[in-house]
Amino acid sequence: MKVIAPDKDGIKRVDGRLKVTGAIRYAAEYNFPGLVYGVLVNSTVAKGTMTAINGKAAEKAPGVLAVISHLNVPEVSGYKDGKAQPGSPFYNNQVFFNGQPVVLVIANTLERAKYGASLIKITYKVEPHQTNLDSNLQNAVKTGDDYMRGIANAYQSAPVKIEVEYRTPIHVHNAMEPFAVTSVWDGDKVTLYTKSQYIKGMQQDVMKLFNLPEANVQVYSKVIGGAFGSGSPLWPYAKAALIGSKVISKPLKVVIDREQMFTMVGYRSPAVQKIGMGASADGKLIGITHDAIGETATYQRFTEGITNTTCFLYDCPNVNTTYKLANLDLSVPTYTRGPGETTGVFALESAVDELAYALNMDPLGFRLKNYAETDLEQNLPFSSKYLRECYKQGAAQFGWNKRNQKPRSVVQNGWLVGYGLSTGAYWAGRAPSTAKARLSPDGILLIQSATSDMGPGTATVMTKIASEIINIPVENIKIELGSSALPPAAGEYGSMTTSSVGSSVYDVCTELKRKFNELGGNNDDNPNYVKILQDHKLPYLEVTRQSHPDANSGKYSSHAYNVNFVEAHVHPATGMVKIVRVVSVIDGGKILNPITARSQIIGGVVWGISMALMEGGVIDHRYGKYVNSNLGEYHVATNADVPQIEVIFIDKKDPVTNPMGSKGIGEVGIVGVAAAMANAVFNATGIRVRDLPITPDKLVQV
Amino acid sequence: MASKNSSNESEKDVKILDGTRRDFLKQSTLLTAIALTPAPLVRAAENGWDEKIAAVYEKVPLNIEVNGVKHQLSVEPRATLLDLLREQLDLTGTKKGCDHGQCGACTVHVDGHRINSCLTLGVMVSGKKITTIEGLAKGDQLHPMQEAFLKHDGFQCGYCTPGQIMSAVACIREGHANSETEIREYMSGNICRCGAYPNIVNAIQEVKDGGQTV
Amino acid sequence: MKQFQYIRPSTQQSVLEAINKPGTKIIAGGTNLVDLMKRGVTAPDKLVDINHLPLKSIASTKTGLHIGALALNSVVSENSLVIEKQPLLSMALKAGASPQLRNMATVGGNMMQRTRCTYFYDITMPCNKREPGSGCGAMEGYNRMHAIFGASQQCIAVHPSDMCVGLAALDAVVVIAGRRGERRIPFTEFHRLPEDHPEMDNHLAKDELIIAVEIPDNNFAKNSYYLKVRDRQSYAFALVSVAAALDISNGVIKQARLAMGGVAHKPWRLLDAEKALIGKTVSEESFKQAALIAMQGAKAYEYNSFKLKLAPATITEALKHASGLV
């Protein structure tokens, strides 16, 4: 058997060929015979009750097979005894937000379903609504996630201090693949094709909805066209599709449209954050106060760790944070790439920059002076922390020493030039996860786990892990994921997949090899698997293992870190901003597959560019409705907005997180990036934008 | 309508390719069925009666060539080329990202030119040659742009990828791949939310510099 | 989308006959119309596909450049005659939409595109342009993209085209065919201000068809520039755009053409500013003075007051580029 030479860049995507040929099928691409189409009609008021639904015209329209609402839906077993989650589709007449799915029109073609949906008329009894975070800050309530060490608000008595307020808008994931469900019932069994970041969790949700045993619910999520945190729950639109297909007893496909992507599948909460930060005259931090207010829905609460990073990133004796939520008549927010941290670290790392300028210190020098050697929040040592290395390598690669401390002092071809910097961190966690490995006489290793792949390359990195242990060519490894029938895996979120699922692949392959060696009676790094199977007349050898976090993991603080160096050019007259250079340095432990890891970090930086310069959901509060719920007005970065991005990995093992020594990098890639951009814009212009996004109107000068 | 249609289209000045559904059909609710109504009505729809009558009044014939295969179709004029490819021809490689010309995931070539298939009515490409991502490779041999996307990891989730690749091929053919800046501008009609842009630019540059025929 | 009848005439005469009926719309590229139909903003009973008419030519005439109404935006922008004689038009076209959309959109269709005002597109919201008498959602709403010139109490929407800004600056003429023959109107008089009838975007009669635009020859080719300021580097509508064309002799401006996009219900020609430039030497100071003149009468709303600063800055900058100062 050929021993593969380790490639320093790692392996190419194992599903790449299927993706570049268009052969891979996403959730809405299972065209079963007899498939019918469902289109959801959503509420057009922000709060109230539906008093009438006129579906007559729709029912008469050609090809329409069903019009389903709370008025005619057969009882859903999971809704009995008041168990329905508020806002569940077809549960009752209540409207909690503008854009809530309330009626499903099913027809035999997509065009007819759409037309049918356009004919639905709903009458409402409207109640006054509140959708504006800014005007509801006073009503925000504590989440209980407050923190304090040392003296409260100690920054106030510091010799040099700043007190500033930052605003971030709604961010909508806007994965390129619209959410879709293809649902097929067979008696009391249901099969669901959808995008899911947590397949086993979604299976449980479906079981609960219909009161079904596990064996009767099959969830497939073979490939995901992006999710970024939005793909975990069984959203109301999906429940509506499942109910609809049960009612009509046909395979049903429901795809939500781009506008519905803004109200039906979560978003990043906007936030208003106040930061007070003070230091001694020579730049030693004395105190940080970080008060954050976000929003959640009236019918469901969502919290995230906005102030998390503030509590441990710097060596500061006095830190106090608060986190409050305003309950608004909007759909519920959810996890969005770097949930919590992305919002909070924008404020923290902007404030650090502001204080450095107030001290007239190099922002990098200021950060190094306050470098945390231990986690002061948890009072624990770090399992690994190479942040200092990140600063050092990044600064050298970027040429940070060429930076001019004085804002608005560098001009190049008529554009103002600025350098900016940010630090980020994200918890390197891990959850129990199971994998099964089977090696057959054809030399093929099959690995199964009910995880998913929303883009980072889960199957690819699992293949890499397996190939390095089993020591067979990657072509001989088949990874099967994306089905609830496979061994239960952790969800694909929180930067945990490689650490959790990867560990189970690592463990199961290690055990499989040990078994082969045991059978073969030796201890070979490269056993002759096929011969051993043949010698023992075995059809295959198979191992299933659940892997758990290391028992010692609680004794350490584990985080991935990043540092971003950014060069921004700002046109002085028109306020246009161009990001021309980014160096992103990552301490993600051991990097298991550099090709895909690099792409993931680039993706995080691109999200950071979008967040810094253009993204923001806008709601007309008179109607409680988005006025930019499309990709033409909700801007995300285009190719022209993105320069070459240099990614540097420190690539040193973490001894605690998992047997591979990696730390998750999916989330950390975006954390802090927007602050680096805003800091670069300040360095270029002398204008501090504390209210994202930094659009030309905020910089235009005469 | 059927008789008008059966004459030689090219000789006729005005080609009436469709009649709107007549009033009598609208009133003929017998033929539509809604769930929760008695089973016989649902069965009427299942038997395709509604479909057959609708076909006469609402559908028009359409001849197109997709990836070298000629299709004689019967389509509603309101069906977009995108939905026609995905739902009727089961060519799901072409993606629907926004359905409003704002993302480029639906990019295909019509007579060699890249367009947004979501804003193109199927009936408007009558007689034209369509190339989708499924038609780019020659059998098992990938198109150089597909190879380059693989090599440079020009994607993550893969959903925008078919549109990116179709656009990238056109970008070179049009002569708009002469510099990084030009490639970026001429690839800006294709949104990639995973942010693979730098890798996409590298892939296109390699194909351009390789001088292969695209 | 509602079902509709679809016809594909092959002569201009039959198109003119077909469109003179209520509920009928012309489709060319479809990039805006299909979008509007999907959103239910418009729901024609009949679509007249004019793509088979022979209106695609781009040719030099004795007096200028003739561009057929069905010439594609991409084709016009890359046409060597256009680049040589009217580079401003090429630049404006390339600043618009995306390569795919420019491969579909026609010159005539570009002129006929509707505003991108969000309240116009969202059929659950009031809009006098979409539904006369229903009110203007933008006036007291989110009006960041909206007009600072020529708006009315009925409508503060802007025309979204880049191409039209270039054509307005270049004194183009629109050639229109009707059942009683052809007529020609100055490009700047094609689109209209909203006044009391925002539902009407332009002066094209229901039974007329745009067949061409003609651009008279000029001396602007050397000193033309189209500057578009937008929220991202590409594929976005203008916050403000400026088409600037100068005829400069020995550092003195002999003729000037200026038009703005993103500021009014129609491409906004800046005649007073042009006059002010004539006879001036090329300098940032004279450009700034012209920009100030251009801004007279501007009126902002809650979210678009930045345009009062951005517009003059963009005018100055565009003139600097056109004149070669930068």
Report pLDDT for B18.
38
Instruction: Give the nearest chain C residue to B115 (CA atoms).
Output: C100
Whether the predicted pLDDT of A401 surpasses 70: yes
φ/ψ (deg, to 5) at C289: -65, -40
Among C1, C310, C315, C320, the residue to mutate for chain A (most A Cβ within 10 A)? C310
For range A598-611, the mean pLDDT: 98
C43 assigned to some structural domain: yes
**Those residues with Cβ within 8 angstroms of residue A480's Cβ, 6 or more apart along the chain or in another chain:** A446, A447, A448, A449, A486
Task: Give A111→chain C minimum CA distance, Å.
Answer: 7
Q: Is A623–C124 a contact, with Cβ atoms under 8 angstroms apart?
A: yes
Task: Indicate whether C236 pLDDT > 50.
Answer: yes
**Across chain B, what does the average pLDDT equal?**
82
CA dist A316 and A145 (Å) reads: 19
Q: For residue B72, count other CB atoms closer than 10 A to its CB.
A: 8
Among all residues of A, which ones are annotated catalytic? 667
Output the CA–CA distances (angstroms, integers) from residue C261 to C161, C269, C270, C315, in the order listed: 7, 9, 11, 11
> Is A627 close to C141, i.e. CB distance below 8 A?
yes
Check residue B138 and give its pLDDT. Answer: 96
Confidence bin at A327 (pLDDT 50/70/90): very high
Model pLDDT, residue A522:
87
Under a CB-based contact definition with an 8 Å cutoff, are residues A334 and A179 in contact? no
CATH number of the domain located at residue range(s) A16-24+430-548 in this protein: 3.30.365.10
Size of interface B-C (CB pairs under 8 A): 111
Stretch 105-124 of chain C: residues touching chain A, C-beta under 8 Å: 116, 118-119, 122, 124
Closest residue on chain C to B80 (Cα) = C34
Q: Determine, yes or no, domain membership for C307.
A: yes
pLDDT above 80: residue B43:
no
Give the per-residue pLDDT at B8.
37
| HSE of A366, CA atoms in CB hemisphere, 13 A | 28
Percent of chain A with pLDDT strictly greater than 90: 96
CA–CA gap between residue A93 and residue C83 (Å, rounded): 61
- Contact between C58 and C75 under an 8 Å Cβ cutoff? The reply is yes
Residue A44 sits at the chain C interface (C-beta within 8 Å): yes
Tokens of A491: 């969800």
The whole-angstrom separation of Cα A638 and Cα C99 is: 13
* DSSP secondary structure letter of residue C202: B
Rounded to whole angstroms, the Cα distance separating A52 from A47 reads 15
> What is the number of structural domains in chain C?
2
Which has the closest alpha carbon to A576: C318, C35, C37? C318
Contacts 24+ apart (CB under 8 A), B22-29: B22/B57, B25/A62, B25/B53, B25/B54, B25/B57, B26/A60, B28/B53, B29/A59, B29/A60
Parallel, antiparallel or unpaired: strands A645-649 and A577-587: parallel
Count CB atoms within 10 A of the CB of residue A42: 22
Whether residue C38 is contained in a domain is answered as yes
Predicted local confidence at residue B52, as pLDDT: 53
b or e along A57-69 (b: 16 or more beta carbons within 10 Å of the residue's beta carbon)?
A: bbbbbbbbbbbbb
CB-CB neighbors (< 8 A) of A644 in chain B: 180, 198, 201
pLDDT at B56: 55
Dist. CA A518–CA C44, nearest whole Å: 76
Q: How far is B26 from chain A (nearest CA, A)?
A: 7
Q: What pLDDT was estimated at residue B57?
A: 62
- Shortest CA distance to A202 belongs to which of A237, A231, A177? A231
Q: Is the pLDDT of residue B11 over 80?
A: no
Look up the ipTM and state it.
0.97
For residues A629-633, give the mean pLDDT: 98
The alpha carbon of residue C234 is apart from the nearest alpha carbon of chain A, in Å, by: 6
Distance CA A153, CA C211 (A): 71
Q: How buried is residue A101: exposed, middle or buried, by Cβ count under 10 Å (0-12/13-18/19+)? A: buried
DSSP-derived secondary structure letter, A154: G
Cα–Cα distance between A389 and A240 in angstroms, integer?
51
Average pLDDT, chain A: 97
Question: Is C23 an interface residue toward B (CB < 8 Å)?
Answer: no
CB atoms within 10 A of CB A148: 14
Q: Tell me the pLDDT band of B32, cut-offs 50, 70 and 90.
A: very low
Q: Say how far apart CA A237 and CA A247 lie, in whole Å.
A: 15
By Cβ distance, the residue of A110, A258, A640 closest to B83 is: A110
Is the Cα torsion angle A577, A583, A589, A595 positive or negative in sign?
Answer: positive
Percentage of chain B beyond pLDDT 90 is 71
Residue A649 phi/psi, 5° resolution? -100, 130
Flag whether residue A360 sits within 8 Å of chain B, measured between CB atoms: no
The mean pLDDT value for B176-198 works out to 98
What's the CATH number for B144-210?
1.10.150.120
Query: Mind listing the pLDDT tens digit for each residue in C72-86?
Result: 999 999 999 999 999
Q: Which two tokens stand for residue B168?
A: 């990238």
| C318 inside domain | yes
Q: Phi/psi of residue A698, each to 5°?
A: -85, -10
Report the chain B residue with the minimal C-alpha distance to residue C10: B13
Hey, what amino acid is at A459?
A: A
User: B19 phi and psi, to 5 degrees?
Assistant: -110, 140
From residue C44, alpha-carbon distances to C48, C276, C319 in Å are 10, 46, 43
Q: Is C81 helix (H, G, I), strand (E, B) or coil?
A: helix
Residue C56, classified by CB atoms within 10 Å of its CB into exposed (0-12), middle (13-18) or buried (19+), is: middle
Q: Is B132 on the interface with A (CB under 8 A)?
A: yes
What pLDDT sits at residue A7? Answer: 61
Residue B21: its pLDDT value, please?
A: 37
Pairing relationship of beta strands C173-178 and C209-216 according to DSSP bridges: antiparallel
Q: How far is A609 from chain B (nearest CA, A)?
A: 10
Q: Which fold has domain B61-135?
A: Ubiquitin-like (UB roll) (3.10.20)
Three-state DSSP state, A22:
coil
CB spacing of A638 vs C234 below 8 angstroms: yes
Q: How far is B179 from chain A (nearest CA, A)?
A: 12
Q: For chain C, how long is the longest CA-to-CA vector?
A: 62
Tens of pLDDT, residue by residue over A578-595, are: 999 999 999 999 999 999
Per-residue pLDDT of B140-164, as tens digits, reads 999 999 999 999 999 999 999 999 9
In chain B, what is the greatest distance between 2 CA atoms, to the nearest angstrom? Answer: 66
- Is C118 within 8 Å of chain B by CB? no
Half-sphere exposure of A575 (CA within 13 A, CB side): 27
Give φ, ψ of B131 to 5 degrees.
Answer: -120, 125
Q: Taking each helix axis as running N to C, give the angle between helix A673-685 and helix A341-358, from 0 to 180 degrees, rounded to the nearest 10.
A: 30
Q: Which residues of C touch A620 (CB under 8 A)?
A: 125, 137, 141-142
Cβ-defined contact of A600 to B45 (cutoff 8 Å): no
Which tokens go with A483?
A: 């089905």
Give the position of tokens 């008179």: A622
Reduce the DSSP state of residue A418 to 3 states and report it: strand
> Out of B7-16, B125-134, C114-123, C167-176, which region has the weakest mean confidence (pLDDT)?
B7-16
Of B2-11, C168-177, C194-203, the least confident: B2-11
Q: Which of A4-18, A395-409, B38-52 has the highest mean pLDDT?
A: A395-409
Tell me whether residues C51 and B124 touch, CB distance under 8 A: yes
Name the minimum distance, in Å, from the CA of A678 to any CA of chain B: 20
pLDDT > 70? residue C42: yes
Q: Does C323 touch chain A (CB under 8 A)?
A: no
For residues C118-139, average pLDDT: 98
pLDDT at B20: 39
Put simply, the answer to whether C313 touches A701 (Cβ < 8 Å) is yes
Count CB pairs under 8 A between chains A and C.
Answer: 91
Q: What is the pLDDT of residue A291?
A: 98
Q: Given the DSSP bridges, would you call strands A577-587 and A477-480 parallel, antiparallel or unpaired?
A: unpaired
Residue range(s) occupied by CATH 3.30.365.10 in chain A: 16-24+430-548, 271-429+555-698
Domain positions in chain B are: 19-58, 61-135, 144-210
Chain mean position to CA A485? 25
What are the beta bridge partners of residue A420?
A: A566
Query: What is the rounded average pLDDT of the residues C291-302?
Result: 98
Angle at A634 between CA A619 and CA B101, to 5 degrees: 130
CB-CB neighbors (< 8 A) of A248 in chain B: 35
Asked whether the predicted pLDDT for residue A375 surpasses 50, the reply is: yes
Closest residue on chain A to C291 (Cα): A702
Would the CB atoms of C2 and B78 count as touching at under 8 Å? yes
**pLDDT computed for residue B48 by the predictor:** 53
Q: CB of C34 within 8 Å of any CB in chain B?
A: yes
| Structural domain boundaries enclosing C36 | 5-48
Determine the pLDDT at residue B55.
54
**Cα A373 to Cα A444: distance, rounded to the nearest angstrom:** 46
Question: Whose CA is closest to A547, among A501, A486, A485?
Answer: A501
For residue range A299-324, list pLDDT tens digits in order: 999 999 999 999 999 999 999 999 99
Give pLDDT tens digits for A405-442: 999 999 999 999 999 999 999 999 999 999 999 999 99
Task: Report whether pLDDT(A180) > 90.
Answer: yes
**pLDDT at position B58, please?**
78
Report the distance separating Cα A154 and Cα A287, nearest Å: 5
Find the CATH number of the domain harbouring C230: 3.30.390.50
> Exposure string (b/e) for C157-174, b if CB count within 10 Å is 16 or more?
bbbbbbbbbbbbbbbbbb
- A596 neighbourhood in chain B, CB within 8 Å: 153, 156
Which run of H or of E encompasses A202?
Answer: helix A199-210
- What are the residues whose beta carbons fall under 8 Å from the beta carbon of A400, sequence distance 6 or more? A364, A394, A419, A421, A565
**Residues near A224 by Cβ (< 8 Å), separated by ≥ 6?**
A26, A175, A177, A195, A196, A197, A231, A452, A453, A454, A455, B157
Structural contact between residues A107 and B35, judged by C-beta atoms closer than 8 angstroms: no
Q: What local confidence, expressed as pLDDT, does residue A8 receive?
A: 77
Query: Is residue C202 domain-resident?
Result: no
Contact criterion met (CB below 8 Å) for B189 and C74: no
Flag whether residue C7 sits within 8 Å of chain B, measured between CB atoms: yes
- Chain A partners of B136 at a C-beta cutoff of 8 Å? 21
Q: Which CATH number fits domain A31-128+176-226+231-262: 2.40.110.10, 3.40.50.800, 2.30.42.10, 3.90.1170.50?
A: 3.90.1170.50
Instruction: Please give the pLDDT value at position B53.
Output: 58
Between positions 574 and 603 of A, the ones with CB within 8 A of B are 595-596, 598-600, 602-603
Instruction: Report the DSSP pairing between strands C5-7 and B113-116.
Output: unpaired
Chain B contacts to C (CB-CB under 8 A): 13-21, 58, 60, 76-78, 80, 99-101, 104, 107, 113-116, 119-121, 123-124, 126, 167, 170-171, 174, 176, 184-186, 188-190
Q: Is the pLDDT of residue A461 over 60?
A: yes
Contacts of C9 in chain B (CB under 8 A): 13-15
**Measured between beta carbons, which residues in chain B are less than 8 angstroms from residue A110?**
83, 87
Touching check for A638 and chain C: CB below 8 Å? yes
Helix (H, G, I), strand (E, B) or coil at A625: strand
CATH number of A271-429+555-698: 3.30.365.10
Instruction: Render pLDDT for A108-141 as a digit per residue (tens, 0 to 9).
Output: 999 999 999 999 999 999 999 999 999 999 999 9
- Average pLDDT across chain C, whole number: 98
